[in-house]
Structure 1
Amino acid sequence: MFTNLKAVALVAAVTVISGVNAESHTVTFSNNCGYGTPTLIQNGNVLSTGGAYTSNGPLTGAIAYLQTGNCGFNGDSCTMVETTLVNPTSAGSGSSTDITLIAPHSFSVTTGFGYYNGCDGAGSDCTSASCTTAFHDPSQTYVQVACQVDNVDLSITFCS
């Protein structure tokens, strides 16, 4: 009987470990501008310059923008999307995405995002420098769009 309990415990441990490793999130881009390069960066590393990017685990603190030749490496002088895609471990601890125009960022092109494969329809669009759906000041946390679904993906669109 002890051997059977050890076997059950081992299978349960492997299942838990496998479940943690199964987390993934994909970020895709649609560039309808006819110019520029969609750019996805995390911790100073370029993850994508237009192709779909899939993380094997959480994608935390990533930024995206359309590099038009006028943007700094961290999206300075351009409209920027900030995202953390993570499976929730408790209420309110899941994914969050927003658009920022907080200096040194500024409006450059119409930019929008939407979740898919969960929280479908949740997202935001910014079509002008005065859009109310983007951060203009760090206190405007209400512009963040949350998603509390495992393995949610994100689509970012420029010039929609």
Structure 2
Amino acid sequence: MSHPSRSNRKSGRTTRPAVAWAAHTITVINNCRERFIMQVPGHGTVSSGSGGSWSYQGDIRGVIASVGNSCDVNGVPCTSAEFSLVSGISSADITLIPPHKYNRSLRITLTNGKSKACQSSGCPSAFHQDGNDGLYQVQEANNPNSGIKLEFCY
């Protein structure tokens, strides 16, 4: 993609207009009274007792988040949200694929209002094994500022 250039008459340099980056916000509501942990590849790990909001410039992919004092940085062995917030298509799901297992209720909601919720180990809206992404994922298309809300123990 070509960007128009402008010439700066004083310095003689050619400059390009600023490019706007996507901004993605993750909001966490943690009513569990246990530790929240989230791994954001390329941006590190976030941990909190109560939740909060975090914003990232540019796309973020492969994020995993969970609540529970025994959850590791990969969300094991807990109920976990997995998601990517991308300018093209953002997607999110709840995973109970082993070694993950149900420990707390979780609702995930993308900015467009699409959501999934899980309140038991037999949760029908969570992944229990790999495959069938269309059934278990929620998606949002063409929103450069897509975001997600995670509600634990809702």
Check whether TM > 0.5. yes
Q: Does 1:113 align with 2:111?
A: no
Whole-angstrom CA distance in 2 between matches of 1:154 and 1:138 = 22
Partner of 2:64: 63
Q: 2:99 aligns with which of 104, 107, 119?
A: 104
Q: Structure 2: 5+ residue runs without aligned partners?
A: 7-14
2:73 is aligned with what amino acid?
Answer: F
State the partner residue of 1:91. Answer: none
State the shift of 1:9 in Å.
Answer: 2.6
The alpha carbon displacement at 1:110 in A equals 0.3
Q: Is the 8 A contact 1:114 1:122 kept in 2?
A: yes
Establish whether residue 144 from structure 1 lines up as the match of residue 137 from structure 2.
yes
Residue of structure 1 equivalent to 2:40? 42
The equivalent of 1:135 in structure 2 is 127
* Aligned-partner Cα distance in 2 for 1:9–1:129: 55
Between Structure 1 and Structure 2, which shows a larger proportion of helix residues? Answer: 1
Question: Identity of counterpart residues, as a percentage?
Answer: 31
Residue 149 of structure 2 corresponds to: 155
What is the aligned partner in structure 2 of residue 3 from structure 1?
none
CA distance in 2, matches of 1:69, 1:39: 9
Give me the whole-angstrom Cα distance separating, in 2, the residues matched to 1:106 and 1:140.
19
User: Conserved in 2, the CA contact under 8 Å of 1:47 and 1:53?
Assistant: no
Q: Could you give the per-residue CA deviations for residues 51-76 of structure 1, whole angstroms, max 9, x where no partner exists?
A: 3111110011111111x222122111
State the Cα deviation string for residues 104-150 of structure 1 (Å, max 9, x = none). Answer: 1000000011012xx1x201100100011100010231201110122
The DSSP-based 3-state class of the residue aligned with 2:102 is coil
d(CA) in 2 for partners of 1:99 and 1:79?
Answer: 7
Which is richer in strand?
2
- For 1:26, the aligned partner's letter is T
In the alignment, which residue of structure 2 is the partner of 1:25? 24
Instruction: Look up the equivalent residue of 1:77 and give its one-letter code.
Output: P
Residue 16 (structure 2) pairs with residue 14 (structure 1): yes
- Aligned-residue Cα RMSD (Å) equals 1.9
In structure 2, what is the Cα distance between the partners aligned to 1:151 and 1:69?
Answer: 31
Tell me how far apart the structure 1 counterparts of residues 23 and 153 of structure 2 sit (CA, whole Å): 27
- SS of equivalent to 2:4: helix
User: How far did 1:48 drift?
Assistant: 4.6
Q: Secondary structure of 2:5's partner?
A: helix
